[in-house]
């Protein structure tokens, strides 16, 4: 069953059947004032932290309740409904609803009994409050009397967990007031007179552009006894009884009533935020002009659409186009900005940036907004510890040069992270490389940036130290130690156990350092890195390759994980894909291991992280055993890893395979099987249940996942073949033979590239001829000196004009 479709022109996903298999969400605002909203207006808002700044309630893992509710009532016959299908939930043969999730806004339209309503939800650009613009139109031919009620359920206090469980305290610290245009909620208000005024929070829920007829600030009075959000007694009665809360549960509920002649429309605005009374008054008075929201929405669209405009593709596959042009790109920005802060799964308790997650998230937006990426790159570099390791969790309050670290009890206490991860700092190499290659800004390497704890250094030396950290933390056989864990949170190989994934990441890091050292003409570093790379290459060969595959790791008790013939977990995806990505595996071996992956791990919804799932033969430290088979790290389809297998296949020039993996796990391509997938068809989730599960194909943990960026990289660098380096751009698409042509518009270092790829003979990769502005580009010598001449698919940046017509004949 399908519930909606993409509108590529407007960059919207349109849900025309509201009974979606799960709440399908969108993000409004930013973590400064964040709002998550479902297609049925469920969700919550917070200031700065989902866990510590919660403004309105949401009950996780329930029926998507409550939310930002607008109720409508026919004052002649008493019938009532909601502007989103839920919470009232009128029969769908009488009630029509269309929800448009857009970039930073969500609009829900409804038609019921000749009344058309539109509720447009957003957080204005750079603002810290939210707006619900409501329009109600009489689409029938007789005059109507309508009441409209706006409702939010405030939390009793900002700490989500306290609000949920510590009722003996939280229910006795809050009260509400009516202030003509709004309900004002106060928390700990007596402290206004105390020394510590900062304890006091005040929130408001307002109505602008219409007159408040009746109001209520007490949830029990609003809902009535033994009732729910779907049948509040006050809406049923057509009026709010003016009860204000004093202890117990507050709410904001405002009612306005009006007559509507045929075709007449009434417009007004509900507003919500955490503000003192004077500020609330100021905000409300601005929105008395009900045309303000249109202007603000235009501004939001301009902001977002210009972020997304730097790459536009038109391939024969609409699912691919919709994801790359809008939805995967938008999700990359959302994960970039929000990290793992808050969703309908994450309640916001992770109070900081996970190092590896964030450094990977950056990769997803480099091709779209390298300057935004740069700021975060520097920030993350400043969270590297002076000895080269990285803070596993970077606090939102990060203060470079003055931070405590996993060695310190205080860090362990405040973050819950007891030690270093083996991979964290190694993610800097692909990320910094991608930024420098996209922009040509190699001067960044010489920029001095502080360490988290003490001292400062050039970025180049930061990178050297990251390598030093791995070299100083070797485990058995001289390979990088697994430490607390590597990318896979569930692999505890032991302090001296070793991770093959990390060994391959380190191998790749040497390669990136060699490129940078060549560019900087730093032959000492180049020599040292080459020496180390060769040395590690030999150990990898000796210890990590067994029979026909790369193993996953060796525990500190010298047990090899991921060997052929093991009863469980005998083949793992990441060491195979990363053997190719890191450049370790040559073409022949690369193809052989990826063929094995395809045979052993591929399923109709993507490649599994490993197989068979652990049941009885897990080593001590294989935490994946905790999960049901084919779930998450225990043999599920961990979607983040799909980006790597897509990239690896594309690097080998096997476009059909790359796109096969792409489409198997692509949300848009699962639009028609939404009841199987459950999660949004426009956003990646963390994993999909696989073959061992009775619910194969069901996906979980929506939106805030590293999948967004790895699949973006796999698509842009891999499938589309846009592979910049410091001096130019290589154009090496890897596509299915059925793609006979496609186009791309790309901004590159302030210039415009209009790229046309022709593939009349149905190749999967390769280049017969490359033409730039009418001139055939001949094969170039490799810009960083040595090696074979580059093939004819390379465009030196020096020949680019302001606008360029580029044709690649495959």
Q: Of 494 and 706, which has the nearer Cβ to ligand GLC?
A: 706
Binding range to ligand GLC, per CB under 6 A, among 9-17, 146-154, 467-475, 488-496? 488-496
Q: Of 27 and 304, which has the nearer Cβ to ligand GLC?
A: 27
Q: From residue 187, how far is each of 176, 196, 276, 708 by CA, in Å? A: 9, 13, 11, 39
User: Using the rule CB under 6 A, which residue among 354, 392, 475, 636 binds ligand GLC?
Assistant: 354
- Dist. CA 222–CA 453, nearest whole Å: 52
Smallest distance from the beta carbon of 489 to ligand GLC, in angstroms?
4
Return the SS3 of 176.
strand
What would the two tokens of residue 599 be? 């045979």
Smallest distance from the beta carbon of 431 to ligand GLC, in angstroms?
15
Whether 517 and 445 have beta carbons less than 8 Å apart is answered as: no
- Dist. CA 37–CA 344, nearest whole Å: 9
- Dist. CA 266–CA 287, nearest whole Å: 14
Binding range to ligand GLC, per CB under 6 A, among 153-161, 246-254, 326-334, 482-490? 482-490
Q: Of 369 and 486, which has the nearer Cβ to ligand GLC?
A: 486
- Dist. CA 684–CA 517, nearest whole Å: 37
User: Using the rule CB under 6 A, which residue among 82, 234, 328, 488 binds ligand GLC?
Assistant: 488
Whether 185 and 204 have beta carbons less than 8 Å apart is answered as: yes
* Closest to 359 in 3D by CA, of 341, 340, 333, 336: 336
- Dist. CA 520–CA 517, nearest whole Å: 5
Q: Of 203 and 356, which has the nearer Cβ to ligand GLC?
A: 356
Binding range to ligand GLC, per CB under 6 A, among 252-260, 261-269, 483-491, 759-767? 483-491
Q: Of 320 and 353, which has the nearer Cβ to ligand GLC?
A: 353
**Site membership for ligand GLC, residue 361 (CB under 6 A):** no
Q: Are strands 606-607 and 685-688 parallel, antiparallel or unpaired?
A: unpaired
User: Using the rule CB under 6 A, which residue among 356, 484, 700, 723 binds ligand GLC?
Assistant: 356
Beta strand ranges found along 226-340 (DSSP E): 250-260, 265-273, 311-314
Smallest distance from the beta carbon of 2 to ligand GLC, in angstroms?
28
Smallest distance from the beta carbon of 354 to ligand GLC, in angstroms?
5
* Closest to 360 in 3D by CA, of 647, 707, 609: 707
Number of amino acids touching ligand GLC (CB under 6 A): 11
Site for ligand GLC in 628-687 (CB under 6 A): 633, 686
User: Using the rule CB under 6 A, which residue among 69, 112, 338, 487 binds ligand GLC?
Assistant: 487
Q: Of 67 and 482, which has the nearer Cβ to ligand GLC?
A: 482
Place of tokens 């007789």: 142
- Dist. CA 241–CA 183, nearest whole Å: 13
Among the options 489, 522, 566, 595, which is catalytic? 489
Beta strand ranges found along 157-236 (DSSP E): 174-178, 182-187, 201-208, 214-218
* Closest to 577 in 3D by CA, of 565, 567, 585: 585
Which position's Cβ is nearest ligand GLC? 489
Smallest distance from the beta carbon of 704 to ligand GLC, in angstroms?
9
- Dist. CA 7–CA 16, nearest whole Å: 12
**Site membership for ligand GLC, residue 489 (CB under 6 A):** yes
The torsion angles phi and psi of 185, rounded to 5 degrees, stand at: -105, 135
Smallest distance from the beta carbon of 119 to ligand GLC, in angstroms?
34
Q: Of 422 and 490, which has the nearer Cβ to ligand GLC?
A: 490
Binding range to ligand GLC, per CB under 6 A, among 11-19, 52-60, 481-489, 646-654? 481-489
- 201 catalytic? Reply is no
The 3-state DSSP composition of the chain as helix, strand, coil percent (nearest 5) reads 30, 30, 40
User: Using the rule CB under 6 A, which residue among 406, 562, 706, 714 binds ligand GLC?
Assistant: 706
**Site membership for ligand GLC, residue 357 (CB under 6 A):** yes
**Site membership for ligand GLC, residue 350 (CB under 6 A):** no
- Which residues in this chain contact ligand GLC in the complex, by CB under 6 A? 354, 356-357, 487-490, 633, 686, 705-706
Catalytic residues: 489
């Amino acid at each position: 069953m399908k519930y909606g479709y993409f509108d590529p022109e407007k960059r919207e996903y349109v849900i025309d059947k509201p009974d979606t298999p799960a709440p399908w969400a969108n993000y409004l605002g930013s973590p400064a004032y964040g709002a998550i909203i479902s297609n049925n207006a469920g969700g919550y808002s917070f200031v700065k932290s989902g866990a510590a700044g919660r403004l309105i309630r949401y009950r996780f893992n329930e029926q998507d309740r409550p939310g930002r509710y607008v109720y409508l009532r026919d004052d002649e016959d008493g019938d009532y409904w909601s502007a989103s299908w839920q919470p009232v939930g009128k029969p769908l043969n009488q009630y029509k609803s269309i929800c448009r999730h857009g970039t930073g806004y969500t609009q829900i339209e409804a038609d019921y009994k000749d009344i058309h309503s539109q509720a447009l939800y957003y957080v204005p650009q750079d603002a810290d409050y939210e707006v619900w613009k409501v329009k109600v139109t009489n689409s029938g031919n007789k005059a109507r009397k309508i009441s409209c009620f706006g409702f939010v359920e405030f939390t009793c206090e900002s700490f989500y967990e306290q609000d949920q469980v510590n009722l003996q305290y939280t229910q006795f610290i809050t009260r509400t007031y009516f202030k003509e245009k709004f309900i004002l909620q106060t928390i700990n208000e007596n402290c206004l007179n105390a020394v510590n005024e900062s304890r006091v929070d005040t929130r408001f829920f307002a109505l602008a552009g219409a007159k408040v007829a009746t109001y209520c600030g007490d949830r029990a009075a609003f809902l009535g006894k033994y009732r729910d959000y779907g049948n509040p007694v006050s809406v049923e009665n057509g009026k709010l009884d003016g009860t204000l809360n004093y202890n117990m549960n507050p709410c904001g509920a405002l009612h306005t009533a009006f007559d509507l002649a045929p075709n007449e429309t009434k417009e007004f605005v509900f507003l919500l935020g955490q503000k003192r009374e004077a500020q609330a008054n100021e905000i409300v008075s601005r929105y008395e002009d009900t045309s303000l929201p249109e202007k603000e929405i235009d501004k939001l669209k301009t902001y977002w659409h210009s972020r997304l405009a730097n790459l536009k593709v038109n391939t024969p596959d609409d699912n691919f186009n919709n994801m790359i042009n809008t939805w995967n790109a938008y999700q990359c920005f959302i994960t970039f900005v929000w990290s793992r802060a808050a969703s309908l799964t994450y309640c916001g308790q992770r109070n900081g940036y996970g190092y590896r997650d964030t450094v990977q998230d950056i990769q997803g937006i480099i091709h779209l907004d390298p300057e935004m990426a740069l700021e975060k790159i520097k920030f993350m570099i400043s969270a590297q510890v002076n000895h080269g390791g990285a803070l596993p969790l970077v606090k939102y309050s990060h203060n470079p040069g003055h931070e405590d670290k996993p060695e310190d009890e205080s860090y362990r206490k405040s973050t819950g992270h007891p030690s270093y991860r083996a991979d964290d700092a190694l993610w800097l190499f692909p990320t910094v490389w991608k930024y420098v290659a996209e922009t040509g800004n190699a001067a960044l390497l010489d920029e001095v940036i502080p360490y988290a704890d003490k001292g400062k250094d050039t970025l180049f030396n930061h990178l050297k130290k990251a390598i030093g950290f791995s070299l100083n933390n070797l485990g058995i056989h001289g390979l990088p130690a697994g430490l607390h864990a590597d990318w896979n949170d569930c692999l505890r190989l032991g302090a001296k156990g070793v991770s093959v994934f990390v060994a391959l990441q380190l191998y790749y890091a040497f390669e990136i350092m060699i490129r940078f050292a060549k560019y900087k003409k730093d032959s000492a570093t180049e020599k040292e890195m080459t020496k180390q790379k060769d040395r590690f290459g030999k150990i990898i060969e000796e210890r990590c390759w067994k029979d026909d595959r790369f193993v996953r790791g060796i525990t500190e008790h010298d047990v090899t994980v991921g060997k052929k013939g093991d009863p469980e977990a005998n083949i793992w995806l990441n060491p195979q894909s990363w053997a190719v990505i890191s450049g370790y595996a040559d073409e022949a071996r690369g193809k052989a291991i990826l063929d094995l992956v395809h045979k052993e791990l591929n399923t109709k919804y993507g490649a599994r992280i490993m197989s068979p799932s652990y049941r009885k033969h897990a080593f001590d430290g294989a935490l994946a055993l905790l999960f049901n088979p084919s779930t998450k790290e225990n043999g599920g389809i961990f979607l983040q890893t799909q980006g790597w297998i897509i990239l690896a296949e594309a690097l080998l020039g096997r476009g059909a395979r790359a796109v096969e993996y792409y489409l198997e796990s692509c949300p848009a391509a699962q639009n028609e099987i939404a009841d199987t997938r459950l999660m949004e068809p426009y956003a990646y989730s963390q994993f999909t249940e696989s073959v061992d599960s009775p619910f194969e194909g069901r996906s979980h943990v929506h939106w805030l996942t590293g999948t967004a960026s790895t699949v973006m990289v796999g698509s842009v660098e891999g499938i589309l073949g846009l592979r910049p380096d410091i001096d130019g751009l290589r154009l090496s698409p890897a596509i299915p033979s059925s793609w006979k042509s496609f186009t791309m518009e790309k901004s590159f270092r302030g210039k415009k590239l209009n790229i046309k790829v022709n593939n009349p003979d149905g190749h999967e990769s390769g280049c017969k001829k490359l033409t730039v502005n009418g001139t055939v580009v001949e094969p170039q010598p490799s810009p960083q000196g040595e090696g074979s001449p580059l093939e004819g698919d390379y465009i030196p940046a020096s020949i680019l004009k302001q606008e360029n017509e580029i044709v690649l004949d495959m």
